[in-house]
Amino acid sequence: MAVKLNFEELKITFDGDVTSPISFSCEDGDIVALILSRDFYDKALLNFLHFLPDEYEGNAVFQGKEFKLFTQEDKHNWQKTFASLTMHYPLINNLKVVENVYLPIFYRENAKEELLFEKAYNILTQLGIEKKYNQLPALLSNFEKKLAIFARVKMLEPAIIYYGNVFAELDEDKRQYLSGKILEFHAEREDRVSIVTARSENELKEIKFNKIIKV
C-alpha cells in the first residue's frame, strides 16, 4: 500500500487552543523529524491523527483524500494504517504487559488469544523486555513502559507511525537503544513512514532523517 501524507498550513484546534501552521509531507519510506516547541502541539497532532476531528484549517491529505472528506470506510482504513508511540496514550493498568500488547488486535480481529500471545511475547523478546510480560504496567520503569507501548505498535504493523516525544528524559544509552529499534522497525516495510517528534534536535541525533521540520 503506497503512503502519502501531506499537511499544508494545518492549524488544529484542540482543548481551546490553536496550533501554529504545520506543513510537511511524507512519501513512502520517509523518516521525518518534527521539532515541536510545545507539548500542546504533540497532543493536538495526536488527537488529530487518531480521532480525525473536523475542527482544523488548512489541508490534511492522505493518499489524495482530504481528512475532512473521509467516509466511515476511509476512517476504518486510516485506523489500520496509523499507530502512535506516546506516553499520552499509556498502557492499561489492570492488564498485564503482554495483554496490553495484543489487546488492540485481539479486539479488532477476534483472533485466537494463544496465537496473539505467542506473537506478542516474541515482540517483547525483540525489544528485550520479555521477562516483564506477566507484570502489571505499574511495576515497569518509564523506559520499559515506552518499550511495551512500542511492542503494542509493532503488533499492529501500521504503515504510518507517530513517535511522540519518545526520547524525552532518556539517557544516551537508552536513546541509542530506542533509536536502533525504531530504525529496525522502519526498515521492515519499504512504504513505512515514521514521524518522530521532539523538543530539540539534540534529542534526535541518533537517527538520520529525510526531513526535519520545526514548528
Partner 1 sequence: MIRSLLNYLFEKLLGGTYNLVSFLVIIIEKFFENFPKGYFALRKLVLKQIYFSGFEALKLTFELGIFMGIVIVTQIASFIKGLGGINLIGKILVIALIREVMPLFMAIILIARSGTAITSELGLMKVNGEITALKALGIEPIYYVVFTRILAFTISIFAITMIASFVAVTTGSFALFMFEKVSFADFYEALFLNMSIFDIVLFSLKNIAFGVAIPLVCCFYGLSIKKGVTEIPQMSTKAVLSSFFYVFLLNVMLDFLVLIWQ
Beta strand segments in the chain, E: 5-14, 17-18, 22-26, 31-35, 56-62, 65-66, 82-86, 160-164, 193-198, 211-214
Residue 113 engages partner 1 in binding (rule: CB under 8 A):
yes
Question: Of 110, 114, 173, 190, which lies in the binding site for partner 1, with binding defined by CB under 8 A?
Answer: 110
Of residues 103 and 212, the one with the C-beta less far from partner 1 = 103
| Binding span for partner 1 by CB under 8 A among 12-20, 43-51, 58-66, 199-207 | 43-51
The CA–CA distances, whole Å, from 188 to 167, 194, 215 equal 21, 12, 29
What does the per-residue mask of binding to partner 1 show for 83-102, with x meaning CB under 8 A? -x---xxxxxxx--------
Surface-to-core class of residue 211, CB atoms within 10 Å of its CB (0-12 exposed, 13-18 middle, 19+ buried) = middle
Binds partner 1 (CB under 8 A): choice among 40, 70, 106, 209: 106
User: CB–CB of 12/55 below 8 Å?
Assistant: yes
Q: For residues 47 and 191, what is the distance between their CA atoms, to the nearest angstrom?
A: 24
Q: Give least dist CB 27 to partner 1, A.
A: 25
Nearest approach, Cβ of 92 to partner 1 (angstroms)?
5
At which residue does the C-alpha cell 507517530 appear?
162
CA distance 150 to 207: 17
Positions in 147-166 near partner 1 (CB under 8 A): 152
Q: Nearest approach, Cβ of 60 to partner 1 (angstroms)?
A: 17
Residue 46 binds to partner 1 (criterion: CB under 8 A) = yes
Instruction: Choose the binding region for partner 1 from 17-25, 110-118, 166-174, 182-190 (rule: CB under 8 A).
Output: 110-118
Of 92, 81, 20, the closest CA to residue 49 belongs to: 81
Task: Give yes or no for residue 103 binding partner 1 (CB under 8 A).
Answer: yes
What residues line the site for partner 1 (CB under 8 A)?
Answer: 46, 50-51, 79, 84, 88-94, 103-104, 106-108, 110-113, 152
